[in-house]
């Protein structure tokens, strides 16, 4: 089981997951700081240095990803950014913008990966694959080092798209639940905030979102692939 290809792919998975988490949480922290909440800034989270983020969530960013890869062959985990709940309640619209910053960072990585793929295709480095999977979004006709790069870019593309979609599900404790505040009146937002603070709703939200992402991610991934390879049809 623990052969060289398995370990090498695990390293790629972890590197992609770490970058995705760090960009996501640093974006939250930076947005909060710019919008008036310096909590994450003072905690050292406004940085792309992974160390402060790993120190904050070692279990979600180290232990769970490694164990999930060993037992499932793919990685899951979590990270977090501290914020002032009093600031969030007093400035709900700003807090919603802060919540949007994390998924936006993941979408930015998806776009960057797509640009690398398209640029690589122009140079003959990459090509549209015969079959699309989570870890095989682009192919390298020449093989070798180019194939390794193709796997890295493929995982970065798919993983960040997954995190973008998952975090936008409007259920607590995901970012999408805070974004809904944009569409609520002040009184409705207060009642909604009180509901979100209940642990039971957060646990239920995670369970429902975990099941929902299996349904919604396939079409989202397929749409992204059609935009990446216009005119190419995959079954």
**pLDDT, tens only, 73-118:** 999 999 999 999 899 988 988 999 999 999 999 999 999 999 999 9
H-assigned helices in the chain: 4-35, 39-42, 50-56, 58, 64-72, 85-90, 92-122, 145-167, 175-179, 186-196, 199-228
Q: Is residue 204 part of a domain?
A: yes
Q: Is residue 215 part of a domain?
A: yes
Q: Is residue 139 part of a domain?
A: no
The catalytically annotated residue of 25, 131, 142, 190 is: 25
State which residues form the domain around 202.
4-117+148-228
At 184 the pLDDT is: 79
At 183 the pLDDT is: 80
Q: Quickly state the pLDDT bin for 1 (edges 50, 70, 90).
A: low
For residue 25, indicate whether it is catalytic: yes
Q: Is residue 181 part of a domain?
A: yes
Domain count, the chain: 1
Mind listing the pLDDT tens digit for each residue in 138-189? 999 887 888 999 999 999 999 999 999 999 999 988 999 888 887 877 788 8
Q: Quickly state the pLDDT bin for 199 (edges 50, 70, 90).
A: confident
Q: Is residue 127 part of a domain?
A: no
């Amino acid at each position: 089981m623990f052969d060289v290809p398995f370990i090498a792919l695990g390293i790629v998975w972890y590197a992609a997951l770490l970058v995705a988490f760090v960009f996501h949480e640093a974006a939250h922290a930076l947005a909060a700081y710019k919008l008036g909440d310096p909590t994450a800034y003072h905690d050292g989270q406004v940085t792309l240095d992974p160390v402060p983020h790993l120190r904050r969530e070692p279990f979600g960013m180290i232990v769970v990803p490694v164990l999930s890869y060993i037992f499932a062959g793919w990685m899951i985990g979590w990270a977090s950014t501290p914020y002032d709940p009093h600031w969030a309640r007093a400035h709900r619209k700003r807090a919603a913008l802060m919540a949007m910053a994390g998924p936006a960072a993941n979408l930015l990585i998806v776009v960057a990966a797509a640009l690398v793929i398209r640029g690589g295709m122009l140079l003959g480095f990459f090509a549209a694959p015969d079959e699309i999977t989570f870890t095989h979004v682009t192919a390298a006709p020449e093989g070798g080092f180019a194939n390794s790069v193709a796997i890295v870019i493929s995982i970065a593309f798919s993983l960040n798209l997954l995190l973008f979609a998952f975090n936008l599900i409007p259920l607590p404790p995901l970012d999408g639940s805070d974004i809904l505040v944009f569409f609520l009146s002040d009184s409705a937002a207060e009642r909604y905030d009180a509901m979100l603070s209940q642990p039971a709703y957060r646990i239920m939200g995670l369970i429902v979102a975990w099941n929902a992402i299996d349904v919604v991610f396939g079409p989202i991934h397929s749409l992204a692939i059609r935009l990446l390879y216009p005119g190419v049809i995959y079954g």
